């Protein structure tokens, strides 16, 4: 397994719609395990392939926060929201591509998601709580959407400017 560098906003690859996975190849399996390692190392609870520069509809997540509970690494290929609750939930979201910036985002509190697993089987599950927020945030990445796109333009521009500065600093370091 290899850690992959995570793209930092703004980057054109984070604004693009990713392509569906057509077959579970060795490349897809390697990407999934690299992404899980990269996510746990960051540390983060979710990561989408475009964030490591791969324009494929694949995401990984593990929202188990309690250290006494077993980890639940999940790999979702071509995930789709098939149902969303009318009830909404607000979470303070962050993103590995937008380090150290957090903002409240309102989303459906529960969603049902269908996806293909690494065996090529179709899976479906209803998510709530942090899992629901996380899976919607990550699916957004596959459609070129970031959590800051839900914020007011002024706030979004402020965060984008901070990220531009961060990237300049990192490039110099």
Catalytic residue positions, numbered: 138
Site size toward Zn ion (CB under 5 A) is 1
63 is in an annotated binding site: no
Nearest approach in angstroms of CB 106 to Zn ion is: 16
Please tell me the distance from the alpha carbon of residue 153 to that of residue 109, in angstroms, as a whole number. Answer: 24
Nearest approach in angstroms of CB 120 to Zn ion is: 26
Q: Which stretch binds Zn ion (CB under 5 A): 3-11, 60-68, 94-102, 155-163?
A: 94-102
Q: Which stretch binds Zn ion (CB under 5 A): 10-18, 95-103, 108-116, 125-133?
A: 95-103
* Token reading at 110: 């529960």
- The values of phi and psi at residue 80, to 5°, are -140, 135
Cβ closest to Zn ion, residue 95 vs residue 109 = 95
Q: For residue 112, give the H/E element and its range.
A: strand 111-116
95 is in an annotated binding site: yes
Please tell me the distance from the alpha carbon of residue 117 to that of residue 82, in angstroms, as a whole number. Answer: 16
Is 95 one of the binding residues for Zn ion (CB under 5 A)?
yes
* Token reading at 173: 């370091």
Nearest approach in angstroms of CB 2 to Zn ion is: 20
Nearest approach in angstroms of CB 121 to Zn ion is: 26
Please tell me the distance from the alpha carbon of residue 79 to that of residue 117, in angstroms, as a whole number. Answer: 10
Q: Which stretch binds Zn ion (CB under 5 A): 7-15, 32-40, 93-101, 119-127?
A: 93-101
The residue assigned the tokens 């800051």 is 148
Please tell me the distance from the alpha carbon of residue 101 to that of residue 77, in angstroms, as a whole number. Answer: 27
9 is in an annotated binding site: no
CB atoms within 10 A of CB 166: 16
What are the binding residues for Fe cation?
95, 137, 141
Interface residues with Zn ion (CB under 5 A) are: 95
């Amino acid at each position: 397994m290899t850690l992959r560098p995570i793209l930092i906003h703004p980057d054109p690859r984070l604004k693009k719609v990713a392509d569906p996975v057509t077959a579970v190849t060795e490349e897809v399996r390697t990407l999934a395990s690299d992404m899980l390692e990269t996510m746990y190392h960051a540390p983060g609870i979710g990561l989408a392939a475009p964030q490591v520069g791969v324009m494929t509809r694949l995401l990984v997540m593990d929202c188990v926060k309690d250290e006494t509970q077993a980890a639940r690494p999940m790999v979702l290929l071509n995930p789709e929201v098939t149902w969303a609750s009318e009830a909404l939930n607000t979470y303070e979201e962050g993103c590995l591509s937008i380090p150290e910036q957090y903002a409240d985002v309102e989303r459906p509190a529960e969603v049902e998601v269908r996806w293909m697993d690494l065996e090529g089987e179709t899976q479906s599950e209803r998510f709530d709580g942090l899992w629901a927020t996380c899976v919607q945030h990550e699916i957004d990445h596959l459609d070129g959407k970031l959590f800051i796109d839900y914020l007011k333009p002024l706030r979004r521009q402020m965060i984008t400017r901070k990220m531009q500065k961060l990237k300049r600093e990192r490039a110099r370091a």
